[in-house]
Structure 1
Amino acid sequence: MFIFKYEPIKKLLLPVLNFQALQKVRTYIYLFLFFGLSIAIHIFIISKLFPHATQEQDLALNLENLNQYKILLILGSAIFIPIFEELIFRGIILQFFQQRFPFWIAAIGSSFIFGIAHIYSLGVMVGAFMMGMFMAVLCKKTNSIIPAMLFHMMNNTLAFLS
């Protein structure tokens, strides 16, 4: 991967690419707890405040016209995009901010940028910000971005299938 060739990026990413976190039971407790909370918040709050957010995102991404590429869409949205986005948002941006600010400011800042990157609609941005906060805390609790990648993959798979 080209991003590992740039030394400052490598210094940010390597410490949080911690696969040992996957060997700890508490990682999965955090993962499923945060994922469950994320779903509950989406169902009971975000979907009520922004009832058309999902449809607006689908229209912006033009998903209806891409049915013949369903397998590629699933692979891209459920595997490759979450890995790439987590490397960028939690691996680089969150870690960069954490070197300069307390964790909560770094988490809010990186989650805000993550929300803006999902600018399909205000509802999608709010949902992405909230999801970014969960993933930032997951990174902090597990000292790894790998569980955040799994969270992101689970979220995108659920969103794609619903």
Structure 2
Amino acid sequence: MEETIHNEEQRNTLKSHARLGWGGVIGFFLSYLGFVLVLGFIFGVIAVILDRGIEGYYTNLLMESHYTLIIDALGIVIAFILFKKVRSFLKSSFSLKPLKRGKTYLYLVLAFVINYVVQFLILNVLKWEKGGSQIDTFGLEGLSDHWFNLLLFYLAFTIITPIKEELMFRGIIHQFLDVKYHFVIGLIGSSLLFGILHPGHILSATIMGMIFVILYRLTHSLMVPIILHIIWNLYAISGMLAMLEII
């Protein structure tokens, strides 16, 4: 009963205090992409200057996946600062109450196990997707094992990216489609986009996105899928680095 009331209050808050339309959503994401391009250009120019006008250490460093993810995160932070309506839209999505309930951790364990089984079936049994393909996607073969580089790598992939993706896909896209149309449309739309933006693992990432949405639906807080996303990325990234014998 308490959760039903909380859910209704959350939806009413979204509808009455943050009337976010298609223009606001599209404008936010276009601005975010624009900021990323501008930041990438600025850092690129700095790298070229440091390399004295020719491709060298700093230029190659900037092209490594974890540095591009950090620049990407800076772009979305700027977009959030400028788009007050989007911030208001997400305001009611960060309740800490679910973290005080025992069943929340049961949901987390079940979600992790279900996601693991799905990934195992798709990658190892059915072989519909290739395990380890993201090693090539992220260009990890030449990753430096220097402690600071690995620290930034883990920070980018296991903290920054999960938070950013949950804000984007579950917080904005799913929630917007849910409030404006229907939960199922939000579930399918946000999960498909999440999958498409994970090349090499489109199917497994789409199902993972659905699991995150359902977890959000059950707990009414983005904090819970963020925690699961961090745990999963930590597991997946550590596995990839172990395959490369970097850790």
**TM-score, length basis structure 1:** 0.90
Counterpart of 2:180?
100
CA distance in 2, matches of 1:110, 1:160: 23
Counterpart of 1:145?
222
Q: Which of 131, 135, 141 is 2:212 aligned to? A: 135
- Cα RMSD over matched residues? 1.6
For 1:101, give the aligned amino acid: Y
Counterpart of 2:112?
35
Q: Deviation of residue 52 (structure 1)?
A: 5.7
Are the structure 2 counterparts of residues 4 and 142 from structure 1 closer, same or farther at C-alpha, using a change threshold of 3 Å?
A: farther
Gaps of 5+ in 1: none
Q: Deviation of residue 49 (structure 1)?
A: 3.0
Q: State how 1:6-45 maps to structure 2 within 5 Å.
A: 6-45=83-122
Counterpart of 2:202?
125
Q: Secondary structure at the match of 1:109?
A: helix
Are the structure 2 counterparts of residues 70 and 51 from structure 1 closer, same or farther at C-alpha, using a change threshold of 3 Å?
A: farther
Question: After TM superposition, what 4+ stretches of structure 1 lie above 4 angstroms from structure 2?
Answer: none
CA distance in 1, matches of 2:170, 2:81: 15
Q: Which entry has the higher C-alpha Rg, 1 or 2?
A: 2
Q: Deviation of residue 156 (structure 1)?
A: 0.5
Greater alpha carbon shift after TM alignment, 144-153 vs 50-59: 50-59
Counterpart of 2:9?
none
CA distance in 2, matches of 1:52, 1:129: 13
Counterpart of 1:75?
155
Counterpart of 1:112?
192
Q: Secondary structure at the match of 2:181?
A: coil
CA distance in 2, matches of 1:24, 1:5: 35
For 1:99, give the aligned amino acid: V
Greater alpha carbon shift after TM alignment, 128-137 vs 35-44: 35-44
CA distance in 2, matches of 1:73, 1:134: 25
Percent of matched pairs sharing the same residue: 31
**TM-score, length basis structure 2:** 0.61
For 1:44, give the aligned amino acid: L
Work out whether residues 122 and 129 of structure 2, in 8 Å CA contact, stay in contact via their aligned partners in 1.
no
CA distance in 1, matches of 2:220, 2:213: 10
For 2:164, give the aligned amino acid: F
Q: Secondary structure at the match of 2:180?
A: coil
CA distance in 2, matches of 1:54, 1:63: 14
Work out whether residues 122 and 204 of structure 2, in 8 Å CA contact, stay in contact via their aligned partners in 1.
no
Work out whether residues 191 and 210 of structure 2, in 8 Å CA contact, stay in contact via their aligned partners in 1.
yes
* Number of residue pairs matched by the alignment: 159
For 1:104, give the aligned amino acid: V
Higher helix fraction (1 or 2): 1
